[in-house]
Amino acid sequence: MQIAKWGNSLAVRLPAELVRELGLREGDEVSLRPEAGGFAVRREARPEEILDDLRRFRGRLAAGERLSRDEANGR
Q: 5 falls in which pLDDT band (50, 70, 90)?
A: very high
Does the reported pTM lie above 0.85?
no
Provide mean pLDDT across the span 54-62: 76
14: number of Cβ within 10 Å: 15
pLDDT digits (tens, 9 = 90+) for 25-49: 998 999 989 999 888 888 899 989 8
Instruction: Please give the CATH topology (third level) of the domain spanning 2-64.
Output: Pemi-like Protein 1; Chain: D (2.10.260)
Q: What are phi and psi of 69, to 5 degrees?
A: -60, -45
Reported confidence tier of residue 75, pLDDT bands at 50, 70, 90: low
pLDDT higher than 70, residue 13: yes
Give phi and psi for 56, each to the nearest 5: -65, -35
- State whether the Cα torsion 64-58-28-39 is positive or negative: positive
